[in-house]
Amino acid sequence: MRTLILSDIHGNLEALEAVLADAGAHDALWNLGDVVGYGASPNEVVARLRPLAAQNVRGNHDKVCSGIASIAGFNPIAAEAVEWTREQLTPDATEWLRELPAGPISVSGVSLVHGSPMDEDFYIVNIRDAWLPLQGSQQPLTFFGHTHLQGGFGWEEGRWFEVQPRHVRAAEPSAWTLQLEPGRRYLLNPGSVGQPRDMDWRAAYIILDDVAKTVTFHRVPYDVELAQGRILLAGLPEKLAKRLKEGR
């Protein structure tokens, strides 16, 4: 089975379309949350993703933009984007976002969550953050998002390690494959489709092959200028457009 795993689309339709085109044929799509927020195409992204995703977990922006969580704690730019998104979302899209389940959920022996298995809103940025989730995991493989950083962490017989995809830094597609080893536990992040923050502006995603026991980390360029233009024309903060090309 070949599974497309993506996270943090954040209303960026151009990036999502590039990922779907680059990923090719797959048997299932799993979404790790933050479908909306920041980007200027929230309804279009929901409409595109909704019929494709076999599994979903909610993100913090999905909760706040759909009105089931408070905007308190969001920085001013994020809060402004939330208010704009709330005004733009159709009732149907809002209801779909409200019904997204909290993570973690288990699918075919794999765990899916937005933030951390311990707390859906917690950021796993380093080994310290990953230590407790890996210790307590009942699954050998967990996929998470939220940080917008592609990569992850692992554990084997008391040894902790980082997973750092090695991509060619160019304006072209790039892929790096991790062989999953028996006896190891993994916490892996596909990175962000719509707003990467690892200094690589290209949209990020993962392909899981459960027959070959591989996870392939992908980066793909997209029409970032069009996505930026939509943000500016919508009257959203200029910083949200600028950061797309900077990858941070």
Q: What is the strand order of the sheet 185-189 is part of?
A: 105-107, 110-112, 141-143, 185-189, 151-156, 159-163
pTM of the model: 0.96
Task: Determine the distance from the C-alpha atom of residue 245 to the mean position of all C-alpha atoms in its chain, rounded to a whole number.
Answer: 18
**Largest alpha-carbon pair distance within the chain?**
53
Residue 139: the pLDDT is 86
- Paired with 217 in beta bridges are 176, 206
- pLDDT tens, position by position, 10-56: 999 999 999 999 999 999 999 999 999 999 999 999 999 999 999 99
Residue 135: the pLDDT is 86
Nearest CA-CA partner of 173 in 8, 24, 3, 12: 24
* CATH class for the region spanning 2-165+184-205+223-246: alpha beta
Mean pLDDT of the chain: 96
Residue 17: the pLDDT is 98
Residue 77: the pLDDT is 96
Q: Is the pLDDT of residue 169 over 90?
A: no
Read off the pLDDT band of 238 (50, 70, 90).
Answer: very high
From CA 121, how far away is CA 154, in angstroms rounded? Answer: 20
What does the domain layout of the chain look like in residue ranges?
Answer: 2-165+184-205+223-246
Segment holding 243, helix H or strand E: helix 238-246
* Token duo for residue 43: 């309804």
Tokens 């795993």, residue located:
5
Q: What is the percentage of the chain residues whose pLDDT exceeds 90?
A: 92
Q: Is the pLDDT of residue 210 over 90?
A: yes
- pLDDT tens, position by position, 105-157: 999 899 999 999 999 999 999 999 999 998 888 789 999 999 999 999 999 88
- Paired with 161 in beta bridges are 154
Residue 187: phi and psi, rounded to 5, are -120, 110
Residue 117: the pLDDT is 94
Q: What is the mean pLDDT of residues 57-61?
A: 98
